[in-house]
Structure 1
């Protein structure tokens, strides 16, 4: 069985609150732990009514307190938004609280528009250009190599597992150059997947942290007892993506029967294109789709994304998927 992990956006559902979303995230992490998933990652997004994971390190502390063995981490921290020293302190603190369980995935995308970048007090254009330098600095703050002359406390010596995130060749090349494991966001940006995998593996340089290339690929996965139920559940996630791409994001909406068929052709084509890396259906169908995807990509791990309006349906999906792949 290929190792499975979970990516959660901490969705805020229509009619519910951020507090309730955070509570459901903890319950979902407990479910993932019990079902045998390796990691539970939370992604950094800002100023989105339907996503409650903006203060990612704080959310991970909440998740860590609700679980005991599953690795927890950021998938990811958008480093251009932050000072590397502060991130070293935050994730060093998480490692002190939950030793041996902390992952830190780093991304170059801002996860916000220019207004939010200004609110975060970052020169976003310059920060993006400095991303490789900031990654090296952050790693040095955690490992002590090279010695920067300052120490993050907590942070220095923390056993944080660094990952590079990406959806283009840039992340693949940087992960390879630094000898880091690489996670590709095929669940919403599949276009460069195959080329990125080839570039990462071909250019990989072993490091103190990683001897051989290691890839985790994200998929949208919704499993249910029937194919019809899975498609219906998936319509909530589809609505959120169409709303986001249409410039009208909001909270996660209830499922709508026949949603994709109701869309204009352009919207339907866009949705089907970006959702190429998906497995939606019965447990057997989901297992077969994941197996084909692993054969295509050679992935070492799969991380599953996919929100449902009913939180119990997401938990059920995780359980069905894990059982089907055993």
Structure 2
């Protein structure tokens, strides 16, 4: 396996569209990094530049110590898994998995051994003599994984590989990929727009938007300390609640929250207060009141309840994540409070401060 390093990488197309803007990223040998962001953010383009399927407009890409900007895709020692499986329909599973090794003139006994090992690892030994049309979507994705594994590459690249699977299969295959990484100790770069995949798979997340890296860090660091409003609202389901207002004399003021909320010695001016749904709750006892909420929607999800509250007399709605066994239905009208460790302030769209 090998590290992957991107230095000042740009991708600009002839029509002037600037898809990737100055990406700097170091992926350690054996690390599983997830590139995540909305459609069109540049994550797949970045992956394709690493693979050599897209030319780099500026900057450098290294796999290990080798500069690969001008190296052909087939010579980069990488294996790529696509969302559409890309299996040869006229070949059996065994032949599909062996094809890349055969093209590299790997000895037949070694091919047979690698295919058998990968098939056992993925639990598809019984499928080796079938053709892709005889397989389910989940089985086809396992074959695509097996074809990558037998290569024993310097790095694995995954381009939204679970997009075509149903929810149950996505969960199962996601678990298999995590176990596969643990077993192989392989360098893996995984692209997805699904934040659940990103949070559960990645050792580090790379959040992208408009071709720019917004934040890099371990999943829980990104979740608990988002760098800006984009990260705060993209990571987390439901998204972080945001209330726009101003800071004046150490208090955050907004029409939705009446008397304001103490934020300490902060620079005065426009600001946005953010709070995760799990940190917003009906106030009890002597807890300070953030705002009065009018219940509009209740979502019962079995393990939890999501209560939607309209704040004051405004149209602003915030969501509170409550335990399912909270002792009855959420109150129709309730004073709401915020868990202090869950309070965030955003100035403009660039700065974020967690107040705890």
Q: Shorter chain as normaliser: what TM range?
A: 0.3 to 0.5
- Say which structure is richer in helix: 1
Q: TM-score, normalised by structure 1?
A: 0.32
Higher relative contact order (CA 8 A, sep 6+): 1
- Say which structure is richer in strand: 2
Quick check: which has more Rg, 1 or 2?
2
Q: TM-score, normalised by structure 2?
A: 0.30
